[in-house]
Amino acid sequence: MRMKWLPVLLTVLASGAVDATEECRCLSFQSCWPSASEFSQLASQLSKPLIKPTPPASACYPPSNSSSNCSDVLSHLNNASWRSDLPGSMQMLNFESFTFPNGTIDACYYNTSLGFPCEQGNIPVLGVDARNVGDIQATVKFAKEHNLRLVIKNTGHDFLGRSAARGGFMLWTHNLKNITFDANFVPEGAPVSQTYQAITLGAGVQWNEAYKAVNDSGRFMVGGLSGGGSVGAAGGWILGGGHGALSPKYGLGVDNAIQFAVVLASGEYVIANAYKNADLFWALRGGGGGTYGVVVTVTYRTYEILPLTALKLDANFSSPQIAQDVVTDYLKLLPSLSDAGWGGYSVWSNTSFSITYFAPNVSLPDANATITPFLNRTKSIITNPQDLDFEIGAVDSFYDLYAFGFNVPSGAGGLLELTSRLMSRSIVKEDPEKVARLTLAVDGLSFSSVAGGAVSQVDPDATGLNPAWRDALGVLTGGASWDEGTSATEINRLRQAALAQLNDYLDKVSPDSGTYFNEASLYEKDPKKTFFGAHYTRLKAIKQLYDADDLFLVAEGVGSDDWDKALNCRLH
């Protein structure tokens, strides 16, 4: 074995953090990093030149600080689609930075007036712009041979920072854009009579591209909702579970995946479905991204295009008691709403309440019959008509709704860490008053009503997803945010305050404190239990079978418990 990890081991030993038995990855700032000639040899096997990801804000600093380039960057700061097209950009700015143990923050701030130099932060300095399976295979083999810290990145939509790593080597899958619709798709190894009207998406396809393609084919598919549809449709979204507003009607992403094509740590290209590599297929459906291999494509089932009914309600509360009463009534309605196929999003506090919901193939009369009792009770509690606004209407298709309401690529460019919990259906039914009281105690809380209904009808052990999802109505999300230049001490204070609210309130509305791996905190007390539940042991066994050397590692992912927090050195 080539001891390319020795320089970093000596560095870590100097800090007293680990012992001399540890094996470490080779990082870009160490002498073990491959030579220029070795990288040239890799480049000769690729379809595109090697990329050098840089922080987008570097355009505002010497030597490339032209006013036009800097203005372009700043004007697109919050544009999720623009950010997703840059290998060195994360959707949340805090994941572009790196904090050393002594509290020093290495970053390239967009606010140049802070007076800090532009540094590389947490962004890998070198990577591969993968355009085909061969590019991925060459990258994986190279990273394994040279013991590199491999990072898989698509769009940078990641609330746990798994798309970046200081000193790592990036595999950028963003340009794998192939889309194929097959009205008679047969999974490999399946009986020829088992056909689906299916769509196969390359790893770099984003939801705006997927929705247009499937709509052009006269069909509809389950997917995510985000500003501009910039989230990847065949990467971390599906591998972590994949939820959307129509999941109560059609299930989660993992419930709609038919087949994966994957490059393993060995470089082998394999198919995973119910008939071939079924254990890997099980793990990929909810066991977390960047863990078992590099997903090249995902094939999803599609559905008939149906009309939708959409409703929106906004209310202001004049007292905490009114908030308690209205939210309690809303929670009482939730189980029947999800069972009827309604899904959507809501935000509530002691001063205001807002919900936006959608239901496929539900007529306006039926929708009114479902929502009118709740609306009437709300009107009786909120007596001032100016404090309550309600709209309901029909839309011809999901794509029409999507194109109208989600075509602005906003929502990126902040500094944000999330906390979250699944909201248990059983607890809501048993004690909605308690759930209302607990959730109203959390500032800035939002709720994604993306479970129940069809999601709850799936066998909890059918996929690798945390079984707690099957007893959930959706995801409660809180968190902490701050401005550029905030000290590590203050960031940690904000983080601890958010975690305290999680522990004191949200833990009590989730069975066994489960949550959604893609929208959560990096600082969970028991991440194995919280993210994977009773499936962790099996998921880890499958990982060891396909990736025994842990080439693929992500923060708090399966197998990460064998490594230090930076995922650079193995623990023994």
468 and 510 in contact (C-beta within 8 Å)? yes
378: Cβ–Cβ under 8 A, 6 or more apart, which residues?
A: 313, 315, 326, 329, 388
pLDDT the model gives residue 410: 83
What residue spans of 231-319 are helical by DSSP H? Answer: 236-239, 247-250, 253-256, 278-284
Closest by Cα among 230, 238, 244, 157 to 200: 238
pLDDT the model gives residue 11: 37
pLDDT the model gives residue 22: 59
How confident is the model over 430-464, as pLDDT tens digits?
Answer: 999 999 999 999 988 999 999 999 999 999 999 99
Beta bridge partners of 352: 316
How confident is the model over 136-177, as pLDDT tens digits?
Answer: 999 999 999 999 999 999 999 999 999 999 999 999 999 999
pTM of the model as a whole: 0.94
Which domains can be identified in the chain, with CATH numbers?
36-172 (3.30.43.10), 179-305 (3.30.465.10), 308-395+410-533 (3.40.462.20)
Identity (one letter) of the amino acid at 434? K
How confident is the model over 522-544, as pLDDT tens digits?
Answer: 999 999 999 999 999 999 999 99
CA atoms within 13 A on the CB side of 358: 25
- Three-state SS for 553? coil
> What is the C-alpha separation between 483 and 487, in angstroms, rounded?
10
How confident is the model over 368-422, as pLDDT tens digits?
Answer: 999 999 999 999 999 899 999 999 999 999 999 888 877 778 889 999 999 999 9
How confident is the model over 184-211, as pLDDT tens digits?
Answer: 999 999 999 999 999 999 999 999 999 9
Residue located via tokens 């509809």: 220
What residue spans of 44-164 are helical by DSSP H? Answer: 67-75, 80-84, 133-145
pLDDT band at 6 (very low <50, low <70, confident <90, very high): very low
> What is the C-alpha separation between 460 and 219, in angstroms, rounded?
28
CA 253 → CA 174, 222, 543, distances in Å? 20, 7, 21
388 and 379 in contact (C-beta within 8 Å)? yes
How confident is the model over 20-75, as pLDDT tens digits?
Answer: 345 999 999 999 999 999 999 999 999 999 999 999 999 999 987 777 899 999 99
| DSSP symbol at 421 | E
- Three-state SS for 135? helix
